[in-house]
């Protein structure tokens, strides 16, 4: 059985995974959404179980299968996402998400995963038992299927360690030549939260590691509220998400066709409403960063931290706003997978040590 280093990022809006297959990093990110799957109904609708964007997982010994990601959002009004539930990190859903993504990335019928994952800074600091609970929930040998039972696969998981979110990004993109006294920082803006991480060398500076419920979905809800107030017509969550995605794509995606009493709202107007919501929430995030890092001077925000990385899906919305307050702010090449890339890198180093220690003991 081959072992793979694996970075598991179980976000509250998106979950992602990174591993190494054939000597190169491979990654996947899908919405954090789970729903009980009605396989017969899906097949009757012509949904093929072998499509790359159809994610359904079932464990051996369990009767229920679960739709995961976009499929869950499309097929069910009531989905599990675990928002507001800290214990979700050590839940069966975290395991389902991990194996859905890992099984999509890794072709082997049997494989091992040496896993590094992370927790938001404040949760990591205040809830130490959760780290052990995560290991208990994920560790073990699991038999599962991603193709409705045509093939059953076996994955053995061992959690190597749990770190603070943000640490992964600095492992992947931080200054490798930084001294032990250099303070580096990460602003991780996700779907629902903004998490701040500061480390001196490799040691977290806990007083600056904070979190707040501000993110892309905050701006999405503001867009929905503004639209309904102006047009006396509610904007569905799906419509609002499409508007926000089009806004963030810089012209690569078209705005959806949205009509009010038979009149189509122009793309220009939809873009203006989205921009207004993003600027409002972006300003709130910038203020939170300044207060958390005790630097109220506009020109001094995070000036002593180098680098300051902006990661997460919120980069595509709020980077420009934050850059105005933090001129030396940078964004990595893969902001969505930044933490998971670092987790995977750390998992790889720890896996090598594990094999070396095993070889030494046998010798």
Contact 311, 188 (CB under 8 A): yes
Question: Helices 237-248 and 267-292: crossing angle, nearest 10°?
Answer: 80
Residues 28 and 147 reside in one and the same domain: yes
pLDDT in tens, 37-84: 877 666 665 666 556 678 999 999 998 999 999 888 887 667 888 777
Contact 164, 209 (CB under 8 A): yes
Q: Residue 171 falls within a domain, yes or no?
A: no
pLDDT in tens, 153-182: 999 999 999 999 999 999 999 877 667 778
For residues 126 and 276, what is the distance between their CA atoms, to the nearest angstrom? 35
Residues 183 and 287 reside in one and the same domain: yes
Q: What number is the average pLDDT over the span 274-278?
A: 97
Three-state DSSP state, 284: helix
Range of the domain at 245: 176-332
For residues 190 and 306, what is the distance between their CA atoms, to the nearest angstrom? 22
Residues 237 and 131 reside in one and the same domain: no
For residues 304 and 281, what is the distance between their CA atoms, to the nearest angstrom? 25
Q: Which two tokens stand for residue 169?
A: 């990004």
Residues found in the chain: 363
Residues 69 and 157 reside in one and the same domain: yes
The C-alpha angle with vertex 138 and arms to 112 and 31, in degrees rounded to 5, equals 95
R_g of the chain computed on alpha carbons: 21
Contact 103, 153 (CB under 8 A): yes
Question: Helices 315-325 and 237-248: crossing angle, nearest 10°?
Answer: 60
pLDDT category at 17 given cuts 50, 70, 90 is: very high
Residues 180 and 326 reside in one and the same domain: yes
pLDDT category at 85 given cuts 50, 70, 90 is: confident
Count of domains for the chain: 2
């Amino acid at each position: 059985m081959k072992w793979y280093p694996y970075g598991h990022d179980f976000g509250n809006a998106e979950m992602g995974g990174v591993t190494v297959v054939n000597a190169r990093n491979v990654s996947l990110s899908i919405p954090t959404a789970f729903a009980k799957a009605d396989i017969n109904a899906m097949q009757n609708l012509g949904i093929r179980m072998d499509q790359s964007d159809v994610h359904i997982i079932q464990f051996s010994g369990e009767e229920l299968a679960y739709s995961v990601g976009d499929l869950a959002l499309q097929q069910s009004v009531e989905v599990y996402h675990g928002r507001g539930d800290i214990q979700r990190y050590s839940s069966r859903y975290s395991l389902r998400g991990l194996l859905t993504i890992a099984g999509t990335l890794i072709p082997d019928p049997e494989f091992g995963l040496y896993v590094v994952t992370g927790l938001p800074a404040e949760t990591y600091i205040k809830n130490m038992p959760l780290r052990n609970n995560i290991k208990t929930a994920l560790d073990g040998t699991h038999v599962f299927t991603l193709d409705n039972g045509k093939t059953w696969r076996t994955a053995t998981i061992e959690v190597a360690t749990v770190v603070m979110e943000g640490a992964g990004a600095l492992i992947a993109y931080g200054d490798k030549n930084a001294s032990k006294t250099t303070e580096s920082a990460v602003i991780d803006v996700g779907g629902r939260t903004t998490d701040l991480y500061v480390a001196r060398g490799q040691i977290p500076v806990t007083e600056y590691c904070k979190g707040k419920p501000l993110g892309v979905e905050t701006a999405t809800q503001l867009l929905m509220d503004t639209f309904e107030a102006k047009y006396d017509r509610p904007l569905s969550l799906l419509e609002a998400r499409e508007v926000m995605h089009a806004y963030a794509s810089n012209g690569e995606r078209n705005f959806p066709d949205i009509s009010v009493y038979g009149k189509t709202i122009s793309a220009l107007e939809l873009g203006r409403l989205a921009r207004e919501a993003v600027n409002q929430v972006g300003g709130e995030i910038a203020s939170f960063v300044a207060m958390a890092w005790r630097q109220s001077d506009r020109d001094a925000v995070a000036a002593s931290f180098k680098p300051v990385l902006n990661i997460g899906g919120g980069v595509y919305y709020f980077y420009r706003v934050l850059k105005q307050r933090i001129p030396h702010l940078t964004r990595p090449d893969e902001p969505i997978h930044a933490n998971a890339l670092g987790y995977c890198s750390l998992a790889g180093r720890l896996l090598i040590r594990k094999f070396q220690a095993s070889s030494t003991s046998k010798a």
